[in-house]
Structure 1
């Protein structure tokens, strides 16, 4: 928003020029004065506090001292030449040393005069010194911004520093920009919002985020700018949702018919949990309203999302519509296809599978049946979005593990019908509430936060390398009881060759411990063809092999109730959410299941916290909150593709209260003034027009 009101090029700025403007654009994507105002400091140095020389210690980061220059001397020759200044206050003395810009410093420092020295104290040869301190006269010159308060520190790069744009250089340019252009900044938020949340005006916030008068002014500025950033994200998302609701009239699923009732009464293998019933009811209400449903269903591993999706698709069939279910991998698509087939039986509905492995002849038959309306549910991969795939009357789209699909891929399914189908998005990767509100703020969110009755929690244990033989003994006992085991290795792109060697060495070790013919091993990794993977998976599913050694290709989509042990090698190299996903491959049968986290003997503090969290809890939502704190929102699975996470100042880990306020405010605005016609909302309407957020509300009849 700020940049819209201060669009002046950086070349207009004193001290910038075309060269500096060019490098700021390339390195930090800063093109205008408004962009520059949004280059917020990442920390502040307290220049209000002064130290006495006798109170110095090496642990202090940066200090400032008022003292007198007693003498100055040029020492050494050539490259080792330095200027040494004896500096003292009433408590002691120290040295100030310069190795560069010696001539300029020497000419501008006078013996007998009092100065303020600022820098990092070092203790050497029994005395304190500061190398290359900042020096300014005492008392301070009036009008100097930043040097007597909380001094901003800005991120820089090597290329910027070469152009004299280190933190100090950036500070000088911003200082000048504020002097010349701050008065051009216009308010972006309605006055009643500022009053309600006691937020300072935007001009005041910008001034105090860069050069705060004091700590209170800084905190107020930070809160104002965080609120604004999160407010406009929510405004754009909820506006997009409102546009979609007004523009896209949804099909009405008016009845619960024979297919759904038959499945519920005759085929449902277990009672629905309270959470499943609640989510199905929410979907039922959505599909009766005459507007397009866009709902995200979050559910932990094993919470029963597939049954919820199936019952939603049967609801569509009962109302004369087809459904499709898109999964990110062929393995997962096949898993869903077989699971649904097993659940509904042979005669209830017609279900088909379409993946990259489907033959040309099979595709021709499938395309004809689909267009004729003879297929009720089509399960598949990205192959579903191909232009050749045409439905007779597509009413519901289910997208599984949606974060693996791009926005354009998902949108292609919308275009498979004249009236866009209802959309049900599912994820087994629990997302913290703050992240869900930001990533999926335009969707209605349902949570399946209850596991089916009778599910036993998975026991998780941490073993180090020294306990490997104990681990082998444990999995041998489980196999001898008739159960199966996963052993998973990391495969990270940067070191695929190294990791593949680790996997191969691990296989050799397992074959030594579990020799043929008594034990059989399946091997699955990314270097295999789809057909090879499918063959190895199927051997394990059918119980022909006792151990599956794999990389993370089995993170989702493998459902073997007889598998009771998940061993994760080098588990410190996995993120928490990924560890939780892998653990969820076991615990699907009646037997007690186990997850063994293998690590080296030495772990970083972060690695220890990840392992301790996994051992302590099976709750995916609790795990996701810890993962967010450790990794930040930009690193969580799939979220990098979302532009809304390019936050300048807000932090989704710590600012959930501000996000909640911002979202509640936007919700209230659209409830009371959906077209943003009130005088107070002119600025908000201007922002949405500037951002090109879809079709304008006032243009939709």
Structure 2
């Protein structure tokens, strides 16, 4: 599976050398032959179809035209210089325009010569033009790797183009490299998997991904390479899960005792939803097995994750263990603390909080109580992972919004007991199923997909700038009913780049519309000192202010049941996930709540889709699927720390079926051959052994 020739530096590809190799490494991250072969085309040009100039219309996508350059001139000064060539065929004329690489264009694009021009046409003042067309000499169009009907197009950079490594130059390098190494490429998927899914072998797939003869060959090659990519991610994740279960024994929570039973019968102020009961049961089963639990609980904003976490922590307490809960911000940690102490009494359980702002005297007392076991549940921020924080017997760690913590930060909590504590991870950011399978593929996943009884769906409305007075009138109506309002802005100060209604200008406008003393405002943003922030939030929480004007610091962590209106300014500038999180700050009481999305009149296509999605649905999982399609996985999670999401070819938004096939194949593989001892799985075993020795490599072999 692993051949050293593929680890040869790109420098030794024919036509590269040290200088070009340096740019390939810096600009495209291509270091070896293996990397080069995995630099797949991002699209293909159908070279069988040609257009005449009089056939172009404003809706035409990428097209190719055979014509002759009849004139060429440089226009403009140094700052906005461009080259315009007039391009003619027997049906008419159009323009070819270059704004960059002007020296190359001036030297290489010759007047009177016939070319094939390829690009996306634009219509301006009645004339069609193509900006930065791909140009090929008409007489050379049949040269290259065979008579290609689908020509690969590769990502390049302006710097690489200076070394003649544009898409065509890279195509030439890859063609030569394939000729050189393809006989030494061996298979890295077992034959029985290839047979089951009717996948082409590795050599065929590599040849057809770069130089397909037809669409059918290309589709088969893409499916094979996507399957391989996702298969190896799942192999790694599920192997890690298996290793952890073998390696890390966990405390066994055999007893459901007084704390859980009393809380459920005497303290819990509402009936658990069926979804909450199901998740509590899953956690209960996990913690009885004597193996460290690693479970992710996904639940929409307001679905009752905190109650589930509390019952899990009480279960740990019933079995003689302490529990802790770590949140990414002090605001959120304090919110959890307030929420939990409102649900329990001191005679049931001793709860404490530790943050970066805890005073030294309080901290010393807390450390002592923690070490002697007086504290049952500790809630806090990153302060929990400090070496000074020692537990008597930590049995359960709850991590909220875990994507905000690094792997090493989480691991520090695991090391705070001889027997690693059980891990319960919670997120209010609904994660699409495909993303959960990759980002959290080594965790067991629970979903709380019901809202507590009595909650009314939030009504979401989209208003344009011209409807602002209507929005102010609606705010006044709600405040007159005794309700409170959030207004969220994307920026604190005016930005030269973004024409946004910023917080400072907004406050000025609001002060005019909502004058004191009739209306009170709290103002919160990320640049305020913590103490000021806490004071302003407390004013709003206690109902002393009517309006909370904020930046996105309130995205998580504020729970004010009396707040019934969320106004989001410049809503088109926010991602779907963030809009959904902000909307979840209201709708926490019994009254009808509203979310008003304010936007400018000009919306991009994506901006319009985001706002229409928010108006149409309150379902976080539905929203997350659309978000994945719009933004891609890295943006949704805010992190790519695990490397899992650096996919070369597969797309989690569109390749869900292939991902499911790959994951199910790995699950069946480990059920049939847990140690991968069978001869047909030897290549997979060798790959995992190399990983364990710290050698990680892409799987072109």
Which sits farther off after the overlay, 171-180 or 513-522? 513-522
For the residues of structure 2 that align with 1:354 and 1:244, how far apart are their CA atoms? 30
Distance 1:567 1:171, change over 3 A: same
Aligned to 2:64: 63
C-alpha root-mean-square deviation of aligned residues, in Å?
A: 3.4
For the residues of structure 2 that align with 1:94 and 1:592, how far apart are their CA atoms? 62
1:335 aligns with 2:340: no
The superposition leaves residues 649-689 of structure 1 with CA deviations (integer Å, 9 ceiling, x where unpaired) of 00001000000000000111111111111111111122222
Distance 1:74 1:469, change over 3 A: closer
1:418 aligns with 2:428: no
User: Computing the radius of gyration over CA atoms, which structure comes out larger, 1 or 2?
Assistant: 1
Aligned to 2:353: 353
Distance 1:94 1:289, change over 3 A: same
1:538-549 pair list within 5 angstroms: 538-549=538-549
For the residues of structure 2 that align with 1:64 and 1:185, how far apart are their CA atoms? 38
Distance 1:476 1:284, change over 3 A: same
The superposition leaves residues 115-160 of structure 1 with CA deviations (integer Å, 9 ceiling, x where unpaired) of 984545989999999988423549946xx31653210000111111
For the residues of structure 1 that align with 2:652 and 2:665, how far apart are their CA atoms? 18
2:501–2:569: 8 Å Cα contact kept in structure 1? no
Aligned to 1:510: 510
SS of the aligned residue for 2:155 comes to coil
SS of the aligned residue for 1:645 comes to coil
1:490–1:499: 8 Å Cα contact kept in structure 2? no
For the residues of structure 1 that align with 2:109 and 2:578, how far apart are their CA atoms? 56
1:278 aligns with 2:274: no
Distance 1:509 1:101, change over 3 A: closer
SS of the aligned residue for 1:343 comes to coil
Q: Report the CA distance between 1:603 and its aligned residue.
A: 1.4
SS of the aligned residue for 1:641 comes to coil
The superposition leaves residues 168-219 of structure 1 with CA deviations (integer Å, 9 ceiling, x where unpaired) of 1100100100110111211110000000001000111110100001110000
For the residues of structure 2 that align with 1:82 and 1:508, how far apart are their CA atoms? 49
SS of the aligned residue for 1:253 comes to coil
1:368 aligns with 2:368: yes
Distance 1:47 1:472, change over 3 A: same
Aligned to 2:321: 321
Aligned to 1:469: 469
SS of the aligned residue for 2:342 comes to helix
The superposition leaves residues 263-316 of structure 1 with CA deviations (integer Å, 9 ceiling, x where unpaired) of 001111111100000000000000011110000000001000000000000000
1:394-413 pair list within 5 angstroms: 394-413=394-413
For the residues of structure 2 that align with 1:81 and 1:469, how far apart are their CA atoms? 50
For the residues of structure 2 that align with 1:577 and 1:81, how far apart are their CA atoms? 43
Aligned to 1:16: 16
1:396-545 pair list within 5 angstroms: 396-491=396-491, 495=495, 502-545=502-545
1:9–1:33: 8 Å Cα contact kept in structure 2? yes
1:178–1:207: 8 Å Cα contact kept in structure 2? yes
Distance 1:675 1:117, change over 3 A: same
Give the number of aligned pairs.
682
Distance 1:540 1:211, change over 3 A: same
2:494–2:500: 8 Å Cα contact kept in structure 1? no
For the residues of structure 2 that align with 1:416 and 1:548, how far apart are their CA atoms? 40
Aligned to 2:699: none
For the residues of structure 2 that align with 1:251 and 1:480, how far apart are their CA atoms? 54
Unaligned runs of 5+ residues in structure 1 are 110-114, 697-701
1:205–1:221: 8 Å Cα contact kept in structure 2? yes
For the residues of structure 1 that align with 2:469 and 2:95, how far apart are their CA atoms? 60
Q: Report the CA distance between 1:691 and its aligned residue.
A: 2.6
For the residues of structure 2 that align with 1:3 and 1:661, how far apart are their CA atoms? 28
Aligned to 1:556: 556
For the residues of structure 1 that align with 2:518 and 2:82, how far apart are their CA atoms? 74
For the residues of structure 2 that align with 1:73 and 1:681, how far apart are their CA atoms? 62
Distance 1:578 1:5, change over 3 A: farther
Aligned to 1:269: 269
Q: Report the CA distance between 1:7 and its aligned residue.
A: 1.2
Instruction: Select which of 122, 127, 137 maps to 1:135.
Output: 137
1:250–1:422: 8 Å Cα contact kept in structure 2? yes
Distance 1:408 1:60, change over 3 A: closer
The superposition leaves residues 469-515 of structure 1 with CA deviations (integer Å, 9 ceiling, x where unpaired) of 11111111111111111111113899499899821221122122122
For the residues of structure 2 that align with 1:568 and 1:73, how far apart are their CA atoms? 54
Q: Report the CA distance between 1:324 and its aligned residue.
A: 0.2
1:601 aligns with 2:572: no
Distance 1:47 1:249, change over 3 A: same
Q: Report the CA distance between 1:87 and its aligned residue.
A: 7.1
For normalisation by structure 1, the TM-score amounts to 0.90
For the residues of structure 1 that align with 2:305 and 2:594, how far apart are their CA atoms? 23
The superposition leaves residues 37-78 of structure 1 with CA deviations (integer Å, 9 ceiling, x where unpaired) of 00000000112335578766684633265x9x9xx9999999
1:401–1:426: 8 Å Cα contact kept in structure 2? yes
1:8-407 pair list within 5 angstroms: 8-50=8-50, 59=60, 61-63=62-64, 65=66, 117=116, 119=118, 133-137=135-139, 140=142, 144-145=144-145, 147-407=147-407
SS of the aligned residue for 1:296 comes to strand
For the residues of structure 1 that align with 2:403 and 2:72, how far apart are their CA atoms? 63
SS of the aligned residue for 2:288 comes to coil
Distance 1:510 1:177, change over 3 A: same
2:251–2:419: 8 Å Cα contact kept in structure 1? yes
Unaligned runs of 5+ residues in structure 2 are 76-80, 697-701
The superposition leaves residues 498-536 of structure 1 with CA deviations (integer Å, 9 ceiling, x where unpaired) of 899821221122122122122111111011111111111
Which sits farther off after the overlay, 118-127 or 148-157? 118-127
Aligned to 1:576: 576
Distance 1:3 1:519, change over 3 A: farther
For the residues of structure 1 that align with 2:124 and 2:182, how far apart are their CA atoms? 46
For the residues of structure 2 that align with 1:197 and 1:249, how far apart are their CA atoms? 37
For the residues of structure 1 that align with 2:617 and 2:87, how far apart are their CA atoms? 60
